Structures are given as structure tokens and as C-alpha cells.
Structure 1
Amino acid sequence: MKIACALFLLLHLQQVWTDLQYKLCGYWTSSKGFGLPAFTERIILNDVTVFYHDSNTKSKMPCPDWISTTVGRDEWSSIHDWSDYNRYFFTLGLQSATKQFNLTGSLSDQNIYQASGCCTLYPNGTYRVLVTHAFNGKDFTSFDMNTKTFVAAVPQAVLYKHLRERDSVAIDGVAAFYKKSCLERLNILKQAPALLIRKVPEVRIVEQQKVGSITVTCHVTGFYPPVVQVVWLGPDLQPVDEGVTDVLPNEDSTYQTRKSVIVPEEDVGEHTYSCVVLHSSVPDNITRVWGGEKAGGMAVWISLVCICLLAAGIGLVVWWRCRTRDAVI
């Protein structure tokens, strides 16, 4: 029964893996002080930057060569147009928040308004949108797609909410973009060459002896893109919540993660356990098997090896003495 469940899990994971999720996000920052440009915009697909612009640059990124279709180039022009639109409204957000929080004098010299808008396409076809704004690192407002209204997270955001909703044409444009245009843009930008890079993960198993059990860790590193699934298969495994379980960056632009389980001492040497890693760089999966070994079992094997060596030594001595005696005769 357990084997059947494990096989079902693997088949399910591989089915999910046939199509990666795509997440397109725009990140905008309006700031005063901190030595930053007054406005920055960055568009990222998964973790790859496909467009960047800030107020210190005189021009915006030209359309890259890998966008060769007319529709794609029109969409790139739309990105340029939206950049001007975003700069106006997020600068308005900075000014409104600074005033509503009554930050005057030196308190008005260093403030930052950040906004992000993301659309995500999942393998099962589900499409989701999230638009949030923050002021000085704290939630300020968000956009509700269903009602086409801004939701104030704090009382100081109510003025900005009314300022935005007063322009019904602009609000309709924002809703239309995230309901449809963001997905169309995602499908165009996912042809970026940087998204095609694949690096195969290195997988190794490390064990740590504890009282009454062994913690076995599957360490996965050196992979790209960062989306990965790590699954332990085996009987009576207990997940370990402590330690690093998130995907973290390496210095060489690859990523790493790990997943640990606890194997009861009485099960050590009785069962095998498999760490299965699924990543887009490999067609199927990478599997590493850990079987463990009881201390008593190890002692038995060492004893057997010593007996064999001793027997071989005695046999060698007997053979040498017989050979010497024959030579004398």
C-alpha cells in the first residue's frame, strides 16, 4: 500500500512538473532621499529582469531583438507608455502618504513608496493577480479586481484611494490590464533567452546521529531556475520543521535548498529511504537512496572481515611452511 502511494505521489509530481508556473511582476518605487532615483520600475518574469527604467536615465530600454513579432513590439511600446503612467500615480502616492502621515520638516526628507503588481499563471491553468502598495515598508493599500476599488490598509490611505478612484477611466484600465493584458504580456516575455537557462542540481545526503533517531538531510544545490520540489519517500518518516527549507540563492546565481526527515533508531537498517528531486533541468527526477545501518550490524560486518583476514593469514603461513618443508626434502 505504501509503495502504491509513493508511486502515485511521484506520478503526480511529474505531471505537475510538465509545465512550470510563470509569474510576471512589476515593481515600482517612488522615493525621496536615501540616494535613490526619484522613480524606478522593474518588470520581472519569474526571477529574470526583462525591463528596467529609472528617472536618472534619459531613455527607456529599447525593444530586445528576441521580440520579433509586431504584437510583441507593440506590447513593448505599451510598457514604455505605462511607465510614464506609473511614475505619475506612484509619485502621487508618495506625496499623499507623506502629507497624511503628517511628516513635515526633516521627517519628509526620507520616505519611500513601493508598489507591486503580479499576475501568475499556474500549471493547471489558474490565473491569479495581486496588487499591493506600501509606504515606508508598511502596508498602505491594495487593489480589489472584483470591485475595481482600492482597499485602504490604514486611515492615511483613504485620500489616495479617493484620488485614484475619481478617475474611472484609469481604474477601468488598471482592471483590464490585470485581467487580460498582463497574461498576454507574460506569454510574450516568457520567450526571453535568460528563461531558457537550465542548471542541473547536485544532490547529496547527510546524516546526523541523535539520541533515539537519525536526522537525514537531502541537500540540493547548484540548480537553476529556482523552482524545485524535494520529496522524501519511505515508511514512518517524520518531517523536520527546523532549519533551512526555503530556496536560497548561491553566489554563482544558482540556488540551494534542503529537506530533512527523522528516522527512528529502530528502523535504521530495516528500510531504505529515497530523496526525490524534481527540476526542469532533468527530464524525470534525481533520486538518492539512504538505507542507514545499525551499529550492531556494522560491528558484525567488521568482525566477519577480521575473521576472514585472520583465516587468510593462517592459510598463508601454513602454505609457506609446507612449501619450505618440500624444498628441504
Structure 2
Amino acid sequence: MTVDDVPVFYYDSNMTRALPVPEWLNSTTAQQYWEFFTFRVEINKLKTVKGLKSATQQFNVTGASKNIYQVQERCDLYPDGTVRAFLIHAFNGKDFLSFDIESKTYIAAVPQAVHYKRLRERDHPDLDFLVHFYHTKCVKVIKEFLQHAPSIRMKKVPEVRLFEKHSSTFTEITCHVTGFYPRTVQVQWFGSDMQPVMEVDSENKVLPNGDGTYQTTKSVVIPAEHTEIHHYSCVVQHSSIPGNITKAWV
């Protein structure tokens, strides 16, 4: 388990005992979370084994020398308090199953995942637990670990630059945000009326830099007839700054 890319918890199936609580985790609440994760990894191991067995049977690859089943769960806490969470399963490097937190249902990425989807959806207490965990507990864990883990407190302020690309019919403006840490960042374009404008790609793709920081871009396309009458601003929110960074294009 990592918080802002810093490993804070590790487990593998060859371990015979739980990891000791680290010295920096010196609050009662944080230690309770540590014990919770120590217990939860055992439960997750059983679920992962079931997923692996189901996938190998449904794909009819039980005789293969090696099959790999992966589960990634993640929750992001943004500077404005917004929370996003993900639970994704993969089999042999390809999407297999994902969990929709709002509808409490699993989504099969391939027909072979339907059997395991139905199996997981019959476990109603587990569905309720997952929703509670991603809506509430996951964020509390992040805040508690951020407060106590010394290596997680490092923050680097993003650098923001605007770039233009012109054609006869439009101008594309790109907001390039780089050098920030931790990874979670919000970047959005606003018009002269301070209303959000349609972006070229609404997905927030964050990429790593070679020095351990991150970068991302957001672009808007402005019709040629609007370039003289509209102003646009790129607004960046990050945990390293108390407010935001605003770069205006006029």
C-alpha cells in the first residue's frame, strides 16, 4: 500500500506474521487502521485466489504454466475535498472486472468475467463494506497517514505554462503543469464568465517525471472568431499551495 507513492504497508503470501507497526505511526487511531489493513490483506488474498480460479476456468487456461491476477484499489483525495475511488481487476495484464461504487455492482470487462461478477454480487455484506470503505474509511486512512508519516509530507509546487497552436479556423491552448508532488492535482479551464469550458480531453492524465515529480496537460480549442472577444484561464489546485495557481490567456 502506498500513500502519495510512498510505501507504507507491504504484504505477500509468504509472510508468516503481520508487519510490525512503524515507529512513526504513534497515534491510537492510526495503529487501529494498521491492524485493520493487516486483517484485510488476508481477506483480500482469499478473494484474489477465487478471482484467479474463476478467470483461469472461464478462459480455459488452467493448464498454463503461469497466470497472473491483479487487483488495484485506489482512492484520491483532492485539495477541494473531492474523493474519487477505483477498484479494478486484471487477468494476465488485461482488464477483467471493475467495481462501480455508486451502483454497488461489478462491471465485467470481458464475457469470461461474468461468472465472477455474479459471485461477488451475491455477497451483499461485502458490497456494503466496499461502499463504506471507499466513501468514508479510505479517506480517513489517508488523512491519518499523511499526518504521521514523515516521508509523505514532502510537497512540491507545480509550475504552470501556457502554449498556443494556431490554424486558420481555431486556436488550441494547452496548460502544461509540471514538477508537482504528490500526484493528485486538479487542472481546469474557465472562460471569461468563470464557467468551466469544454476541454479537448476531460480525463486527467498524470505522468511521471524522471525526478519523482509529475506532470499533466489540459487543452481547450477556441474557434477563430472567438479569440478576440473571450478570455480563458487555467486554474490549478494542488495540496502544496493554499489556494490555486491561475494562468490567464488573453
Gaps of 5+ in 1: 1-42, 292-329
1:275-294 Cα deviation digits (max 9, x unpaired):
33333322333233444xxx
CA distance in 2, matches of 1:125, 1:281: 14
1:66-125 Cα deviation digits (max 9, x unpaired):
2112332233123223223322332233234323433243xx212112224455667887
Match of 1:283 among 215, 227, 242: 242
Match of 2:179 among 222, 227, 246: 222
CA distance in 2, matches of 1:118, 1:173: 17
How many residue pairs end up in the alignment? 240
Greater shift, 61-70 or 272-281, is seen at 272-281
2:241 matches 1:241: no
Name the residue aligned to 2:57.
Answer: 99
CA distance in 1, matches of 2:203, 2:97: 31
Name the residue aligned to 1:73.
Answer: 31
Please tell me whether the aligned partners of residues 239 and 260 of structure 1 are also in contact (alpha carbons under 8 angstroms). Answer: no
Match of 2:150 among 176, 193, 212: 193
CA distance in 1, matches of 2:234, 2:51: 49
What's the secondary structure of 1:53's corresponding residue? coil
Shift of 1:156: 6.2
Shift of 1:271: 6.4
What's the secondary structure of 1:54's corresponding residue? coil
Please tell me whether the aligned partners of residues 238 and 263 of structure 1 are also in contact (alpha carbons under 8 angstroms). Answer: no
1:19-55 Cα deviation digits (max 9, x unpaired):
xxxxxxxxxxxxxxxxxxxxxxxx2345443212223
Please tell me whether the aligned partners of residues 96 and 160 of structure 1 are also in contact (alpha carbons under 8 angstroms). Answer: no
CA gap 1:129/1:282 in 2 versus in 1, 3 angstroms:
closer
Between the aligned residues of both structures, percent identity stands at 37
2:83 matches 1:115: no
Name the residue aligned to 1:88.
Answer: 46
User: What is the TM-score when the length of structure 2 is the normalising length?
Assistant: 0.69
Shift of 1:152: 7.9
User: What is the TM-score when the length of structure 1 is the normalising length?
Assistant: 0.55
Give the structure with higher Rg (CA). 1
Q: Which has the higher contact order (CA 8 A, sep 6+)?
A: 2
What's the secondary structure of 1:72's corresponding residue? helix
Name the residue aligned to 1:39.
Answer: none
Please tell me whether the aligned partners of residues 170 and 224 of structure 2 are also in contact (alpha carbons under 8 angstroms). Answer: yes
Shift of 1:213: 4.4
Shift of 1:143: 8.4
Name the residue aligned to 2:137.
Answer: 182
CA distance in 1, matches of 2:197, 2:31: 52
Shift of 1:222: 0.9
User: Higher helix fraction: Structure 1 or Structure 2?
Assistant: 1
Name the residue aligned to 1:44.
Answer: 2
CA distance in 2, matches of 1:124, 1:204: 22
Matches within 5 A, 1:5-44: 43-44=1-2
Name the residue aligned to 2:218.
Answer: 259
Matches within 5 A, 1:93-172: 93-105=51-63, 108-118=64-74, 131-136=87-92, 137-140=94-97, 142=99, 153=108, 154=111, 158=115, 162=119, 172=125
